[in-house]
Amino acid sequence: MIERLEHSEYAVACCDGAKGMLQLPDKSIKLLYGSPPYPNAERDYGVWKSSEYIDKISPFIDVAAQKLRDDGFLLINVKATREKATSKTSTKRSLVVEKLAIMLEEHWGFHCVDIEIWVKENPVPTGLRVACQDAYEQNLWFSKSPKWKINLDDIRRPYTSHSVKTYGEYEYKPRSNGLSYVRKNKNIQPNPLGALPINVISGGVSSRILGHQATQPLYLPEKYIKATTGPGDLVVDPWMGSGTTGVAALALERKFIGFDRIESYVNDATERFIESLKGR
């Protein structure tokens, strides 16, 4: 499959994503970015119950550990959904995502860069009466190596008007206890590339694309592709769905390989890639 990338920017296959990744050379993937089926979510493409979640996702992580480059990253976007209520129990939030995060370090030997939060500005109302409405998802961000480098300058954000004003007016002074990075009174200029990024992403949820029930907004994969890869690097999504990760990767001139078990999704994603490469 990797040979196809010599003549094309991307390759896709309709198959189990873990088995598909097994065909790739060891240490070839710079970023594995994907959004697996969410625990307990009933979708057209099936349900991964929280009780079976670790068993279902394990083959993907086993292969990821083998196929990621030593300077590679794993990014899993997922939402901890709820257990079904019964006559005796309220609907309890599943902790399987937290369990997966701990296992990524303790069992698979990855290193946690962060668990970032995607705050959804237009969450779908759940009608919950035993907890607050769901309005965020988690992005489990792990590095294969204990020492990593990310492209912070590529994901800087605009300064708020408040911080620009503060920079203009405020003189930074050394602290009397010496615990300060300024040694003498000075004004600090804002970085022309923008403010340091934060570990919270805010934005709207995508509307359905091509009939897929869980299409992500482009800004999610974009952030992590920019942060962890350079032009020409290989990005892989083993749960490709409507192909959002691929569209983001191709726009940023990365190579992309995607897998999904459902043929119509693979066809629809391919249409999106062809469209996004038009005019190159």
Ligand X SMILES: C[S@@+](CC[C@H](N)C(=O)[O-])C[C@H]1O[C@@H](n2cnc3c(N)ncnc32)[C@H](O)[C@@H]1O
Interface positions with ligand X (CB under 6 A):
16-17, 35-37, 45, 212, 214-216, 238-239, 241-242, 244, 259-262, 265
Residues paired with residue 255 on neighbouring β-strands, in sequence order? 234
Q: Which residue is nearest to ligand X (CB)?
A: 241
211 Rama class: left (phi>0) / alpha (psi -120 to 50) / beta:
left
Cα angle 254, 61, 17; round to 5: 60
Q: How many residues does this entry show for the chain?
A: 280
The Cα–Cα gap between 72 and 67 comes to: 9
Q: Which residue, 36 or 203, has its beta carbon nearer to ligand X?
A: 36
Q: How far is the CB of 15 from ligand X (least distance, A)?
A: 7
Q: Which residue, 19 or 111, has its beta carbon nearer to ligand X?
A: 19
Q: Which residue, 101 or 269, has its beta carbon nearer to ligand X?
A: 269
**Strand ranges in 134-219 using DSSP code E only, listed in sequence order:** 136-143, 200-203
Q: Parallel, antiparallel, or unpaired: how do β-strands 111-120 and 136-143 relate?
A: antiparallel
The Cα–Cα gap between 68 and 28 comes to: 6
Q: Which residue, 56 or 156, has its beta carbon nearer to ligand X?
A: 56
Q: How far is the CB of 136 from ligand X (least distance, A)?
A: 16
- Phi, psi values for residue 115, rounded to 5°: -110, 105
Q: How far is the CB of 173 from ligand X (least distance, A)?
A: 48
Q: How far is the CB of 158 from ligand X (least distance, A)?
A: 26
H-run or E-run covering 223: helix 219-228
Q: Which residue, 39 or 182, has its beta carbon nearer to ligand X?
A: 39
Q: Which residue, 94 or 215, has its beta carbon nearer to ligand X?
A: 215
Nearest to 185 by CA among 172, 169, 170: 172
Q: Which residue, 45 or 167, has its beta carbon nearer to ligand X?
A: 45
Q: How far is the CB of 243 from ligand X (least distance, A)?
A: 6
The Cα–Cα gap between 108 and 110 comes to: 6
Q: How far is the CB of 11 from ligand X (least distance, A)?
A: 15
Q: How far is the CB of 87 from ligand X (least distance, A)?
A: 31
| Contact (Cβ atoms closer than 8 angstroms) between residue 135 and residue 125 | no
